[in-house]
Structure 1
Amino acid sequence: MELIQKKFKSLNLSDPFFASLIEDYKEFSQWFTKKAEDNAYVFEDELGNVNGFLYLKPESGPIEDVVPVLPNKNRLKVGTMKINAHGTKLGERFIKKIFDHALHNKASEIYVTVFPTHEALVSLFAKYGFSKAAEKHTQNGTEHVLVKDLSKLQDSLVKSYPLADLANKNFYLLSINPQWHTRLLPDSILKNEDADIIEDISHTNSIHKVYLAAMNGMEVLRPGDIILIYRTTDGAGPAHYRSVATSIGVVEEYRSIHSFVSRDDFMRYCKPYSVFSDAELDQFWARKRYPHVFRFTYNAALKRRVTRGEMIEKFGLDPGAYWGFMRLTRDQFNSIAQAGQLNESIIIN
């Protein structure tokens, strides 16, 4: 299923998907009709039935209809979010889309109101650093106001997402071949123009990634290490100009393929966040040619691609070094991120 934007007026409010929202919110039908010309993100199945719905609204000023009142800030409001999970990663895709929009709109906070009875939804938001800041009392009952501060690190890498903490961290350039890069990092596809982080290019647009590689030295990766993804040349021109830095990630975990006790153990770990097919994973397990297995968060695409030539000539990277997996200095990383017009708000020095 693809995540697409649709106007409210093009959606069928009598779709069974909306029944629980109509039941929870007495004013929902009227509100939905008023939003006719507004856009929402929608997941639809093959038959056109809605399986996910997300409405986002930038706001500024205090939030006065909650207790306690929340102070004046630029915020992104998660107006409505509902998912029919069915064992998929729809919730995570919505969370990534929420963060993408918040950064795009330079919001300092994100907030959402949720009935505490929706435990799975509350848990999903909590996983990514949302916490209760207030309550909202209406004719529908009492909702919790969950807030995510986009300027503060929290007590875990995932709760801090999309922020990247650079203090006392190691920095590495990690090369990925074009065929895997397009699958793994869909909004970092090489384009002639700047990447639009708001566009949902592929169903693989998720926060967490699992990747396998065979490059020397990768066993040094540790949680919190910062990786600069480097897309190798597509053959359409010299690597000096066509190999480019595209995006930033943070390592969650490194494992050797030999640490898995069985194929099933390996598949359970890789499958939820891997872009590889079952057949490819089976082959990787059988041959053990890619011994390095690591999970990372995909924090941001560079708006401008930085070429190999620029990294050598301007930022001092060694042209004779092994560019498959290469240590960077903090200054080199910062210079490349700045040249790539990385959203500076995600970087905590």
Structure 2
Amino acid sequence: MKFLLDTNIIIPAEPTELENIELGTPLITELLRRFNEGQQQYYIHSASIQELSGDKNKKRWQMREVLLDKYPLLPSPPGFTKKIQDSLSIATLNKHDQIDLTLLSAVDADAVDYLVTNDVALHKKAAQLGLASRVATPDEAILIIRSLFPVIPFPPPAVQSRYAHDIDLEDPIFDSFRLDYQEFDEWFRKCKLQHRPVWTIEPDIGKIGGICIIKPNDAPEYEGMPEPCLKICSFKISENWRGYRFGELLLKTIFDYADQNQQASIYITTFEKQVELLNLLNNFGFQIISTSNRGECVLLKMLKFSDEEYSVLTPLEFNIKFGPNQVKFDNANSFLIPIVPKYHKILLPEAEAQLELLPGKHPFGNGIRKAYLCHSNIRKIALGDIVFFYRSGIQSGVTTYGVVEDIIVSSNPDQIARAVGKRTVYTYPEIEGMCKKGEVLVVLFRLSRSNTTTISLKALIDQNIIKKAPQSIASLSFKAAIWLKEQIIKQP
């Protein structure tokens, strides 16, 4: 697909000085990144270069001229099309308006698919000419790319985004595949030719500890599968790396991919003997709907929901069935939980701007289901409630939210240790030490959303969400919770 960029897109993308950075610069940067990720073609028009060359600040123009050299020019741009000539008196228009019509002529002549601009007047001209559907704002352009072309989101820590043809089929992890599927090598060859997306976890360099192969926008093979449907073709954790929650780490990547690419459902087939995998999938809302001709269980996870489903399900049931990205805030209370940087780094690594040297080595950081321990006296938190995490320290702010799965209050270290398993950042001696100081509140939660860009303390104070940096768990109003959620989702 081909996109033509207006000057008001190019200028924010190429600030010549720090003070030239505009509010729209991050969005334009994301748009260009998505163009590159999706291998979309984008151009600038020679008329735009001419317009920019009229900058009275000659030094700025000289710098911008160098920066613009990396943008390909639209080859052989068409002149004014007949539709535009017949619709408007071009000769009576000023130079700027004529350049606008030149850009629209490129669209009308099908030299490009879309013109991307923030110019309101240009959008109005496009509407007059019946070209409104092919003139997009940067937001709309990103939506177009997301809707029409699968994108590979930045994977969680320790997960590598690859393609099938990059994978070494001699890796031991494939031995079990061949036992169950005699035609595995032939099938994998097709995956290579189709450039199927693959995610791997390689705790040992050159050795695969976990792998997942997907097929986006697959035609549903079974009844009851809403489209577009994402098929998980292969999902395997090496026997040598069980216990590190690599399964949840891969699922987290799949859910993010499905969310960003607006998939309506996800399905996978697996044999009944794969008890661990079946349990994992069941924990995240996959349900058996059929049996394949091989005798495998067919499991489906729905990602879209009806008004009735939203109404009748509890917040926790809703998150399990349609989440983890989908959260029901109605009929749920929300809380703000402070967490020190040390524990934030290893419990919530996906929200860290700089990953540790060996990301993924902490099992509790890999999972979607996590645990938080503290000595708070608050006892109002219940199943299905929403918890937002506020990282203290230098880079303070809200980074993450999740849905409460269970609450435990105890001073018995064994009881707590059994409950939290590998979810928690605390060692058993640390749990013992906490129990000696009094009852420990254990919050078991499911991670929903996180972002490396924090919602700062200043923003929280400006929004009257809190008055100062939180020292203990605090209740949030419904309005505050919705605002926080929206900020985390929309942050780049």
Taking a change above 3 Å as real, the CA distance of residues 164 and 181 of structure 1, as seen in their structure-2 partners, is: same
Equivalences for 1:61-72 in 2 at 5 Å? 62-63=219-220, 66-68=221-223, 70=225
2:402 — aligned with what?
249
2:297 — aligned with what?
144
Instruction: Report the residue type matching 2:387 in the other structure.
Output: I
Query: Is structure 2 residue 461 aligned with structure 1 residue 312?
Result: yes
1:239 — aligned with what?
none
Structure 1 distance, partners of 2:230, 2:222, is 19
Equivalences for 1:1-349 in 2 at 5 Å? 2-36=158-192, 38-44=196-202, 46=204, 48-59=206-217, 62-63=219-220, 66-68=221-223, 70=225, 73-84=227-238, 86-137=242-293, 141-152=294-305, 156=317, 158-162=320-324, 163-190=326-353, 201-203=359-361, 204-215=365-376, 217-234=377-394, 242-258=395-411, 260=412, 263-285=413-435, 287-288=436-437, 291-302=440-451, 304-313=453-462, 315-319=463-467, 322=470, 324-341=472-489
CA RMSD of aligned residues (A): 3.0
Q: CA deviation at 1:170?
A: 0.7
Instruction: Report the residue type matching 2:208 in the other structure.
Output: V
Structure 2 distance, partners of 1:107, 1:303, is 24
Instruction: Report the residue type matching 1:161 in the other structure.
Output: G
TM-score (norm 1): 0.79
Structure 1 distance, partners of 2:487, 2:448, is 17
Q: CA deviation at 1:75?
A: 2.4
Q: CA deviation at 1:39?
A: 4.5
Mapped contact 1:177–1:231 kept (Cα < 8 A): yes
Structure 2 distance, partners of 1:317, 1:2, is 34
Unaligned residue ranges in structure 2 (runs of 5+)? 1-156
> Which structure is higher in strand share?
1
Structure 1 distance, partners of 2:251, 2:475, is 31
Unaligned residue ranges in structure 1 (runs of 5+)? 235-241, 344-349
Mapped contact 1:300–1:342 kept (Cα < 8 A): no
Structure 2 distance, partners of 1:45, 1:311, is 38
Q: CA deviation at 1:335?
A: 1.4
Question: Higher relative contact order at CA 8 Å, sep ≥6: structure 1 or structure 2?
Answer: 1
Instruction: Report the residue type matching 1:50 in the other structure.
Output: I
Instruction: Report the residue type matching 1:172 in the other structure.
Output: F
Deviations 1:112-145 (A, max 9, x none): 12233433322321221111334443xxx23333
The aligned length equals 316
> Which structure is higher in helix share?
2
